[in-house]
Amino acid sequence: MEVAAKYSALISVNSQQVQMSCKRRFHMRSRSRSRMRISSLYNEFAEFGIQEARKHTHIHPFPVEDKFRNMTAIDGKTTLHTEAFQSSKIRFLRSLLIDDNDSMKVFDFAVFPKPEYDLPIFCANFFSTVNMNIIVLDLNPLYVTHNEEYKKKYYSNLMPLAQKYTELLPWGDKITSESLKFFSPIVIWTKFAASKYKQDVLYSAFMDYFTAWLNLMDESTPEKNAVKILSNKEAQHQYLLWRATKDPGHPILKRLLGDSLSEEFISDFLFNGALTLGDKRFLDFFPEYKCADGTINKKRSMAGKSFSKRPWNEDGSLIEM
């Protein structure tokens, strides 16, 4: 299988080698700066993502409303920088950098495939302060990964890569069962105190994960079956509605942009397609969240179940807990 051969070089490096590589990068950076500058923490991540995408496909600008470009928050100091692209296989690639010039930095990078492809959704959500980093890095599954055929197609060859980085960036904290179904067995969900070394490990992981996604894209062929294309479209729509409604980062955007603009930014930019990929709405996909008055329950979890430890084994199978 060609894709497996492409990954062999990528995943052959063991954890010790990754540590050595990161230490070398750490020392190189240490010579040029005495402490981590939060204002430039994620610029290189965004630059790598866009430049690497250009190596694999012809990306061109995605039309974005002017009001979503290079915004300044209500506080007058926090900036939000956005970029958006599309290609023959990519419906929407977007990057968001938030910088308050003081203590907070956010990097939100995602790639949504066109409905003709059942590719996973690339997802990098990084939130950092001077003291703490909260990290999610994943190839979010379009279909739940207890679907063995889908898991084998996209994740089986990547499990060694995941094991390498999840040893260095261990499971962060409890995660709800509702959210878990939108994560894959290779997800990096972690928290760590400010550390140049850990940031270097994270940068390495981001580069490897995105390169892996791009390799999957290169190998993908368009679906011809109209029913399957519709199924892919609906699966992505469900994902977008979940994220647009329940993503934990929304309060930050509301604080920065106000209620009205933040809602538009979430639905029209961050999760573009939530209102346009189909006619269904959140409660059509998630009726368990419907309140007696017809509104959406604000709770993150209705099942009340969460996972405080990594819930997959080494072959990517979900462990009953």
**pLDDT at position 140, please?**
97
Give residue 39's pLDDT.
44
Angle at 229 between CA 148 and CA 187, to 5 degrees: 40
**Secondary structure of residue 66 in the 3-state scheme:** helix
CA–CA dist 116, 124 (Å, integer): 23
Spatial contact of 98 and 80, defined as CB atoms under 8 Å apart: yes
Give me 173's structure tokens.
């904290």
Supply the CATH classification number for the domain 2-307.
3.40.1500.20
Q: Quick one: the chain helix, strand, coil %, rounded to 5?
A: 45, 20, 35
What are the residue boundaries of the structural domains of the chain, listed by start? 2-307
- Give pLDDT, residue 102: 76
- Residue 321 contacts by C-beta under 8 Å, 6 or more apart in sequence? 307, 309, 311
Sort 207 into a burial class: Cβ within 10 Å, 0-12 / 13-18 / 19+.
Answer: middle
What are the average pLDDT values for consecutive 10-residue runs of the chain, which has 321 residues?
A: 42 47 44 40 95 98 93 95 97 96 92 98 96 96 84 95 95 89 95 94 98 98 98 97 94 96 97 97 96 93 85 86 56
pTM: 0.89
Q: Which residue, among 88, 108, 129, 119, has the nearest Cα to 184 in the 3D structure?
A: 119
Question: Which tokens belong to 115?
Answer: 């409905």
245: left (phi over 0), alpha (psi -120 to 50) or beta: alpha
